[in-house]
Amino acid sequence: MAMRPTIIAGNWKMHKTISEALTFINELMPLVDSASAEIYLAVPFTCLAAAAEEACEAENIEVGAQNMSDHEDGPWTGEVSGRMIKEAGADFVILGHSERRQHFNEGNGIVNQKLKLAYLSSLQPIVCVGETQKEHESGHAHEVVEKQMRESLAGISREDAASLILAYEPIWAIGTGKNATPEVAQAMHSFCREVLKKVWDAETAQKIPILYGGSAKPDNAVQLLGQADIDGLLVGGASLNAHVFSQIVNANVNNQVA
């Protein structure tokens, strides 16, 4: 029976300076040294190098970025390329987070371009999808998420897909304190896995971890992680405090592939 890893990813968003990042990592390491979950920390660009070096001591912590440019290099003032973040120590990159989609006009085409560049820079991508409250309430979640997935993931080989992580983050649950119930989240994750089958094939779809994001906290982590197709969590607010985040990391569950 093949297993998907359990991944607990923290997305710090625009929080923490270098010194704050180092304090966090030093607080976190002893709290999670026997955790079975893989820990991902998506940190601001400015603390990437320092955080990656500090986390080197911990075998179960990966450090990555929250975004990257959709260009390889060139006259793009203020942008940061995949190659730059890779050399700064990033193992992975979050792409298409709803805050990028909503506030920075990132459509599926841009996410797809970034995804191709992430593979070119040997960065493991975490591609985010999710519907708005209005789309959720009007019964369009499936349609919206399938379109986001098909367009964002277009043109990626099976070999590259094997290292992809997908994150389902309903926008109505992000930063609202109102998480999707485990049942609602599981139903969407199972739907996402069906779409992954259509994009590639059943074998590839079974290998791709699907993370849930949106008000994940210590008190809902165990139930969420207990669902068959929820392979981990993408945590915003609750990833900023090392003690709180460690409780989510230590919510000890194995996810098995049928």
Between 234 and 253, how does the x/- string for binding to ligand PGA read (CB under 6 A)? xxxxx---------------
Q: What letter would DSSP give residue 137?
A: H
Contacts of residue 233, defined as CB under 8 A and 6 or more positions apart, other chains included, come to: 7, 8, 9, 211, 212, 213, 216, 221, 224, 225, 248
CA 180, CA 189: separation in Å to the nearest integer? 11
Choose which of 6, 11, 81, 247 interacts with ligand PGA (CB under 6 A). Answer: 11
**Positions 17 through 76 that interact with ligand PGA (CB under 6 A):** none
Residue count of the chain = 258
Please work out, in degrees rounded to the nearest 5, the angle formed at the alpha carbon of residue 79 by the alpha carbons of 19 and 144: 100
Query: Measured from the CB of residue 126, what is the shortest distance to ligand PGA in angstroms?
Result: 10
- Between CA 90 and CA 49 the distance in angstroms is 8
Encode 2-14: b = buried (16+ Cβ within 10 Å), e = exposed. Answer: eebebbbbbbbbe
Q: Nearer Cβ to ligand PGA, position 44 or 213?
A: 213
Residue number, 48 or 200, with CB nearest to ligand PGA:
48
Tell me which of 8, 50, 174, 199 binds ligand PGA, using CB under 6 A.
174
The DSSP secondary-structure symbol of 233 reads: E
Nearest residue to ligand PGA, using CB? 236
Q: Does 96 bind ligand PGA (CB under 6 A)?
A: no
The number of angstroms, rounded, from the C-alpha of 13 to the middle of its chain's C-alpha atoms is 12
Catalytic residues: 97, 169
Identify the residue among 112, 215, 227, 255 touching ligand PGA (CB under 6 A).
Answer: 215
Single out the segment in contact with ligand PGA by CB under 6 A; choices: 64-72, 132-140, 169-177, 218-226.
169-177
- Chain residues in the site for ligand PGA (CB under 6 A): 11, 169, 174-175, 213-216, 234-238
